């Protein structure tokens, strides 16, 4: 249930800050969000898949940490990223 290379490249191009950016917080959060959505769809079909549920919780925690980091370092980027990904903001 991982993302294929083409999807990752597409997300990276969409959210990168400059031409050679592949690992900024924005890109990592966008990739995690896509994986979370994919696992969430899987769990709708396979509700008893405990390993996927634990993986989902782990990924949500990783995304939350990255979002907190981004919010503490650059609030403007955080707000624009949350809006672009349609995520709920933490208050």
pLDDT tens digit sequence for 19-56: 999 899 999 999 999 999 999 999 999 999 999 999 99
Q: Is the pLDDT of residue 90 over 70?
A: no
Q: What are the boundaries of each domain within the chain?
A: 5-85
Which CATH architecture describes the domain 5-85?
Orthogonal Bundle (1.10)
Structure tokens at 72: 């503490």
């Amino acid at each position: 249930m991982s993302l294929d290379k083409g999807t990752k490249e597409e997300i990276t191009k969409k959210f990168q800050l400059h031409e050679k950016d592949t690992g900024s917080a924005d890109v990592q959060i966008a990739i995690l969000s896509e994986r979370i959505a994919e696992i969430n769809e899987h769990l709708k079909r396979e509700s008893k898949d405990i390993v996927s549920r634990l993986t989902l919780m782990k990924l949500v925690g990783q995304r939350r940490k990255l979002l907190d980091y981004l919010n503490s370092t650059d609030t403007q980027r955080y707000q624009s990223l949350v809006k672009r990904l349609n995520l709920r903001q933490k208050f």
